[in-house]
Amino acid sequence: MIDGYNAIGYQAYNVSSKDFTAGRIFLKELQQMAKFPFISANILDSLTRRPIFKPYIIKKVSKKKFGIVGITSKPAKKIPGIEIDSPDSTLEKIIPELRKKVDYIIVLANLDRLAEREFFKKSFDIDFVLMSGSYRYSKNLEDKNSMLVARCGSIGKYMGIIKFDLKNPDAKLTDVSRTEAQLSYARKRLDSFTEATKGKPVEEFYANQPSVLSTIESLKAQVQILTDENAQVINPVSYDLIALDETIPDDQEIRAKLNELEQKLNSARNRR
């Protein structure tokens, strides 16, 4: 998995309490293999009360600085030598300090249902929350107390992509994912009607089908309204949730790593 993350260019990995299943030493060995930082703001050494990993990193993209913070829920069972502080109280300490250094703050949050509920009861000066820890996924960004929340689920089936066009740094970010999806759907329906005409004018081809012509006019009006709405947004943000199914072609480097892993697993099984 670490080799795969290296290959696809991970920028940061948020450590969760579940990552200690094979022990702290093993996790540290994995960390040494990674070409990206492991981060966590609330996983502490139980003796020193100091973070075991970097609490956050700062990435510069173009002229903007992004602060990336990691938090996780407390586990059901205590981990030897490890203490996991409250995600909320941890962020209350870190966010004001980090905000002075960056333009945008991204929180990687691996939270169970109870911790998530408590988290969203409060308001933090955070721009994006990338949520994991549950099976839930969303096709749009959720606005929670002015924080834009993205979910990809927890089984690795989906990849989420957030894009935004920063036209005015002083204006807020506005999610246009829903209108983009509606616009895409309307345009596809229009295209399907147009393709059926095989080059003939729409009015001529559907002359004897007034209901179809009415639908086409309605779709054109919808496209215009949605386009105008998006044009008025100063800093549009969009979110795409991509299903990693059979329509996505294999990356040969990743496929080779999976084949190698399968061979090792089969070899281990045969030795039993």
In this structure, is the dihedral angle defined by the CA atoms of residues 233, 150, 179 and 243, taken in order, positive or negative? positive
* CA Rg value for the chain: 24
- Sheet with 56-61, strands from edge to edge, namely 56-61, 64-72, 104-110, 128-132, 147-151, 142-144
Render each residue's pLDDT in the chain as its tens digit; 272 residues.
Answer: 898 889 888 999 999 988 998 899 999 999 999 999 999 999 999 999 999 999 999 999 888 899 999 999 998 888 999 999 999 999 999 999 999 999 999 999 999 888 999 999 999 999 999 998 777 888 888 889 889 999 888 777 888 899 888 888 788 888 898 888 899 999 999 999 999 888 899 999 999 999 999 999 999 999 999 999 989 999 899 888 888 888 988 888 888 888 998 999 999 888 87
> Coil, helix or strand for 247?
coil
Write the single-letter amino acid at 115.
A
The pTM of this model reads 0.83
Contact between 27 and 21 under an 8 Å Cβ cutoff? The reply is no
Could you give the domains of the chain?
Answer: 2-156 (3.60.21.10), 159-247 (no CATH)
